[in-house]
Structure formats: C-alpha cells, structure tokens
Amino acid sequence: MVTPAQSTWKGNQSLSEWDQIGCTKYASSIYFYAPTTLPFQTITQTLIDSLSHTLPHFYPLAGRLRSLNNGRFQLECNENGAVFIAAELNADLSYFEKDYFTPTLESDCLLLPYVNESLPIHELPLLLVQLTKFSCGGLSLGITTSHVLVDGLSVANFMTEWARIARGLPLQKPPFLDKKAFGVGDCCGSNPQRFDHSNDFGNMPFLLKQPKVEELKKMKTTMFTLKLTKEQVQKLKNKANKDLDRPSRPYTRYEALAAHIWRCSSKARKHDSQQPTACAVTIDSRKRLEPPLPFEYFGNGVFDVTARCTAGELLSSSLSEVASKVRSVIEMVTNDYVLSAIEYLKSQQDLTKFQYSYKSSTNGGGKYCGNPVISVINLVNLPFKGIDFGWGKEIHFGPAYHEIDGDLWIIRNSSDDDESLLIVICLLVEHVEAFKMYFFDDMIN
C-alpha cells in the first residue's frame, strides 16, 4: 500500500450528484511502454516514490468510500493509500501489441490489479496500479480507479502530474477539489428545475423483440479495434458537411463519427424500421457551467445525453441529418440544463436506479444491454497521450476489457504521429463483421 508522503486533510467529504450516478464501480485503462535498459527495481521504486509524493495533492485517491442510504456515497479522506503491484510476465510485449492492442479478459487478468469487490466498500482502495515487466524488457502500467470518485479527465490529469513528479519536475496543475459549483452542500431548491429529465440518465430504449433467456445465455460479446487515418476522418467530416445548410457551423469530427457509428451499428444489428434506437453522447459539464469549472476539476463532471429516433428514420436520413441529431443533444446541455439536472437528481429519494456496473444490466439484458443503443465515448481531447515517467512516452494507451454490447471509445493512436484515430468497440460477435463492412464501405458510398 502506497500512502501519501505528507499528511493530508482528513475527514468526510460530500460527493456531487454526478459522482453518484452512472457507473459506480471501477474503470481501468492500460499503458504500454517500449523495452528499456533501466533496472526493473529502479523503475518500480521510482513509481512508488513518485506516487507517494503525488497523493498529497490528489489525496481523495488515498481515501475510502462509505455507502449511505438510498444509493448515495460519502468519501472518507483517511490516508489509507493506494495499491501498487509490481509483476513480471514470461511473455513478449508483441503478444499483446498485435494489430493495435485490443483488450481481452486474459489481458485484464494478467496486466490489471485485482479488485476484490466482495469486500465491504469502506475497505476497497480507490486507486490500484499494476506495473508489469515483459520478457523483452517492455512494460505495461494498468490503472484502476473508482468511477464514483473520478472520471476520465480527472484520471488523465492525475497521470500527467504523477509522471511529471516521477521525472523530478514540480506539480504543474494542482487538482481543483471544490465541488460547490455542482451544488454540493446546497439543499434542494437552490436552483430551479427548468427541464424535463424523466428520459435522462440511463432510461434507454429496449429491443421490440426481446431475446429469450436461453438466447441471451448463448450470446457473446467481443472487443475489436479499427484504425481511421487522418484522411478517412476528413472524408467523413466532408460527407457530413456536404448537405449542411450554410451559414451553420461545420460538423465536428466527433459529430460526424458519432453519426456514422450510430448508423453502422443499426445496420449491423438488422433493426426493423420501427425499432427505437439511441446514440449516447458523453458530455463534460465542466465547460458548460457559467463560469466554467477549471480543466483540473477533480471528480466526475461528465454525464450522458442521448439522441433518439427509429431505425427507419436513422437509415433513411443523410449523414448530415444524423449529425444534426447528435449536435442537438450536445447543444442542449447549457449551464441552466446542468443545474436543472443536478436539482432533479437531488430531489430523488434513491439514486440506485441511475447507477450501473459494467458487470450488470442497464437495459434488462446483462452485458448484452446495449442493443439498440450505441455509446460513443470520446477520449481524443483528454491528456492521456504522452505519459512519460522517465523511460519514454507510451507506445499505446487504451481502455481495459469490456463486455457491454454497444460501448465504444475514440482514442488517439499513440504509435503514430499522423493524427490517426483508433475506434475500440464492444459488440455481439454476430454483429462484428457486418459493422466493419458498413463502417468502411459507407464512408465511400
């Protein structure tokens, strides 16, 4: 257990509504590093010492959660520390790095720290790290954090500062720990609820033809990775903007990609024309507030909004029209919307119905719950790339293994400098080949 090198603030800390909805389990990611001649013991000690000196600044990561009534949590800042594991694996880095690393259950078991979730929540660490040395001298660094405590941007900022301290540099951007902007400490009624949120926060459409229990048991999901070159991304943007009414702002890379992915997933899943579908878009509310929260806000600032329509409408619309649907839900999230949503969640007696685990169902079907929903998570603009602890930048960064049908990440390709993107996707096995075909063919046609 790695504890803070200096004493930190101790006590109980309230969490925001965003901390207590969505995924309330753990989220993991992994970094790969090229072979180095530095002794493994030196690398291990460097990471332990620098982590110990980083935790005083990010002291919530050294604490523990406590479960309150009605699906709510509290953070106990107690300096209990983070788990650090050093391991050696009799395998070459190339075993995992074939064709753009795609996580598997095997890679998670070997390269990520084990979390014993059968323990009481107040005994579970909020940060776990595993450093693994391969027989070729390459390294991996598996990071597991409690999603109740932090979102992806917070983890990325933490990794950036930890790496700086490991290289002997001072902290550059301290975490912003004040949660008052999200209404923490305020009683209900401090902000008016101006919007209808009854369809927000996980209330997704179902398949009209629900699979039987026996069919569900036979279904298997898999993860795969697709590469998009800079030229392909631009071609998709151009296609989305072809029918755009001027002087409208051109559709962004994300809007074009999300629209394209939404259409391809519906085709691959062979939806009937009347089937309701949805594209979940992850929004960072930090920059939607007035004034905006600092980039360094440490906690959860993201939540999902969903664009919805039937499969018939989706597939009969142009890419530009579908991108417009994606944009409309993104632009819906204003300062007033965020504050209204917080007020709505505060008014709920129990938040459990807004929570899910990556191992449980949000849509009645366990890990197959995604169909007819696709969730497009954009990590492109987060500072996950270029994390250098003193032996060079990573050669790959990406999410851990995932079983939820329809979850998808857009990430930068760490191994290239040509601005190419990697699309990491989880789908039912039976839909994978069709999705790949539509994904590339529909860019041209």
Q: Which residues are catalytic?
A: 147, 388
Cα–Cα distance, 149 to 20 (Å, whole number): 9
The secondary element (H helix, E strand) that includes residue 328 is helix 319-332
Residues 6 or more apart whose CB falls under 8 angstroms from that of 228 comprise: 236, 420, 421, 422, 423
Q: Nearest CA to 376 among 421, 321, 413?
A: 421
Residues 6 or more apart whose CB falls under 8 angstroms from that of 122 comprise: 64, 65, 66, 67, 76
Distance linking the first and last C-alpha atoms of the chain: 55
Q: Beta strand pairing status for 421-428 and 73-77?
A: unpaired
The secondary element (H helix, E strand) that includes residue 373 is strand 373-378
Residues 6 or more apart whose CB falls under 8 angstroms from that of 247 comprise: none
Q: Which two tokens stand for residue 43?
A: 């690398």
3-state secondary structure of 229: coil
Packing angle, helices 253-268 and 319-332, rounded to 10: 120
Q: Which residues pair with 73 in a beta bridge?
A: 67
Instruction: Report CA 9 to chain centroid distance, whole Å.
Output: 28
Torsion of CA 203, 74, 159, 173, to 10 degrees: 110
274-310: b or e for each residue (b if 16 or more CB lie within 10 Å)?
ebbbbbbbbbbbbebbeeebeebbbbbbbbbbbbbbb
Q: Is-contact 48 11, C-beta < 8 A?
A: no
**Which amino acid would we find at residue 441?**
D
Q: Beta strand pairing status for 407-412 and 22-23?
A: unpaired
Length of the chain: 445
Radius of gyration of the chain (CA): 22
Cα–Cα distance, 343 to 182 (Å, whole number): 10
